Structure 1
Amino acid sequence: MSLRKAKSRQPETIRTVQKDLTYTNELTEDLSDILRMSGPRNWIKYNNVCKLIAEIVYHGFATCNNLQTLGEEYTGILQIDCNYINAPSKILRLSAIILEFGGETLYTKVLNNLERNIDSNEDILPEAKEKLKILIHYMRNSVSYVKALHKTLFYLNSNKYQISKRITGINYVLIRHWMQPDHSLYGYRILGWITLLQLVITFVVGSFEAWKESQRKSTGRNSSSQKLERLLGTQKSRDAPQCILCLEPRINTSLTPCGHIFCWHCILEWLDERDECPLCRENINKSNVIQLRNFV
């Protein structure tokens, strides 16, 4: 008989995880009490590590000695490889333990170090830095979506409650599968579809909020740029020399043969009335006026 038909279902897997969690919580409390004896300073500093140590010691001891965990023994299930043929190797089981209880922390630290290196690297352009930091931000926020998607797949049709089991391909099979209670799993599937719907709604709302935030920042940057340009333009206008005809800052500065400077349109309008320089009264024609480029 193929062991695929004996794979555990959601109820057995959940009871296994809950039973193991009970023992690891007790072990965590014992380690915390021992640490408290070393003084309040050490307890405050290292108490958060007790949970990680308890999880690794509990599951690592069972793995190194080729034993079931107490939760697996309680529900009567065994770990097996992705092909449902042999028990998973110790290295594979230890890798699953490390991924399960330290993978997310390691992932976050890698992203944080990468972000710091990007900030301190002067060879990266500011525009590229901003895009890379946005990518890291999305990668950091994607953890919750990955967890929700994994939970959805578990409720729909899977016996992999932990993400580490899905990554390493480790499955659970029932030892006495013929004694498996004939419970309906429709409730789990309904829960899976509800979880999927919640994930989709959360993703859509989050994406819309991120789009609004990017639009707001873009509008703010454009508004700031326009204000700066207007301020600089006003300052330049104030500092620019005035045209003797319109008494305003010169626009399209133009030069007459006699050496006097006016606005282009001002001097042309003047010459429409009389063919002489407004200042020295020297005779000039429109064709003799030269528009100066890059001249204030």
Structure 2
Amino acid sequence: MNPTHSPSFPRAQQAQIIRSNQRDVFQVSSLREQTENVIRSYLGTRWLTRWEKEVDVLVNLVYYGFTTRIAMQSLGEEYTDIWQHSIHSEKPLSQRHRAALVFLPTLASYIISRCSNAVPQSAKLGSVLRRLPKALELLSEVNLAIFYIRGTYYSLTKRVLGVRYISSTPDNPNARPPSYSLLGVLLAIRLMYRLITFVRTIRASNTSDSGSATVKGKQVADVSEETFIDDRPVSAMLSSVNPEGEPPVPAEEDEYTILDISRIPENVRAGRNCTLCLEERTASCATECGHLFCWNCIVGWGREKAECPLCRQSLDLTRLLPIYNL
């Protein structure tokens, strides 16, 4: 009797891995959109804006928890018929590796973001935490450039854990797989340009710091470029850590309006609702595109997305216009 041998599977091609990732991104985006629609209808847009990051984490954990975590193919992997495989043990992934694939990409960036907001900006740890997401983003781009050139690890997490893809589809010796090396070269050029720009910025800042006037060892602040609204600097108005998390103020107690809210007819007041918090507007302000919101609502939204919630035009928080008579 011939000895039995374990079957050997070829490595997944770049095209299979890319299509799998694209389909997973589409499925996660669709699940997130449906979740946001349900939350928005029951809890309102303001609540969704405040907890948007937590919702994003929950959606990712649910999707990959019910696929990768329990040793099942994701919808993208099933679509391209590929499987995750450990290069260290040459066996299917262990429970520890599957858990790391689910939690590391999702929770790491979220924890870093929350910790950076909790630590004071003056602290060295806070400065490091705020730079860490950009460093991870840069490493991910470097890893992606390497993937397009060599076709090994699509994500940085899989490279660290040593997880590759195998395919159940046999290789066709008569067909040449597509090459994505050009994309890798273009990404490498883009990264080099960013590096050169960063070095020039550091040199320029050092030169300006050395030539600037100082008083008692402290640099003199240049207030000539500060923007003021009613004798209040815009930077101070935007300095609140979590403005959308502050308790709502009744419209009758709004200090930033010249209107006598109590004398406005109810049918007119019904049209003064903010589309973000679904409550009557307080500290009303207008965006450059002409839409009206509560000041705290639009500031909280703009810190997460630099676009108008209604028309999707670009949003600049320093160009919000307070409205006192609407």
Give the TM-score of the pair, scaled to structure 1.
Answer: 0.62
Contact kept, 8 Å, 2:57 with 2:110, in 1: the verdict is no
Report the equivalent of 2:148. Answer: 155
Give 1:194 deviation, angstroms. 1.7
Contact kept, 8 Å, 1:7 with 1:159, in 2: the verdict is no
Report the equivalent of 1:126. Answer: none
Greater per-residue helix proportion: 1
Aligned residue identity for 1:143:
L
Query: Relative to 1, partners in 2 of residues 1:13 and 1:213: Cα closer, same or farther, differing over 3 Å?
Result: same
Query: Relative to 1, partners in 2 of residues 1:134 and 1:88: Cα closer, same or farther, differing over 3 Å?
Result: same
How far apart are the structure 2 equivalents of 1:166 and 1:43? 34
Q: Does 1:172 align with 2:165?
A: yes
Q: Does 1:75 align with 2:80?
A: yes
Query: Relative to 1, partners in 2 of residues 1:63 and 1:203: Cα closer, same or farther, differing over 3 Å?
Result: same
Aligned residue identity for 1:214:
N
Query: Relative to 1, partners in 2 of residues 1:58 and 1:136: Cα closer, same or farther, differing over 3 Å?
Result: closer
Aligned residue identity for 1:71:
G
Report the equivalent of 1:142. Answer: 135
Report the equivalent of 1:95. Answer: 100
The RMSD of aligned alpha carbons is 3.2
How far apart are the structure 2 equivalents of 1:155 and 1:181? 22
**Secondary structure of 1:35's partner?**
helix
Matches within 5 A, 1:10-89: 10-40=14-44, 41-83=46-88, 85-89=90-94
Q: Does 1:206 align with 2:206?
A: no
Q: Note the residue ranges of structure 1 that are not aligned, 5 or more in a row.
A: 120-128, 229-296
How far apart are the structure 2 equivalents of 1:133 and 1:10? 39
1:28-71 alpha-carbon deviations (Å, 9 max, x no partner): 12212221232314333334433322221111111343211111
Give 1:17 deviation, angstroms. 0.9
How far apart are the structure 1 equivalents of 2:64 and 2:174? 27
Aligned residue identity for 2:40:
R
Query: Relative to 1, partners in 2 of residues 1:136 and 1:101: Cα closer, same or farther, differing over 3 Å?
Result: closer
Give 1:78 deviation, angstroms. 0.3
- Higher mean Cα deviation, 158-167 or 103-112? 103-112
Give the TM-score of the pair, scaled to structure 2.
Answer: 0.57
1:95-134 alpha-carbon deviations (Å, 9 max, x no partner): 1122222322323444555x53963xxxxxxxxx6xx777
Greater Rg over alpha carbons, structure? 1
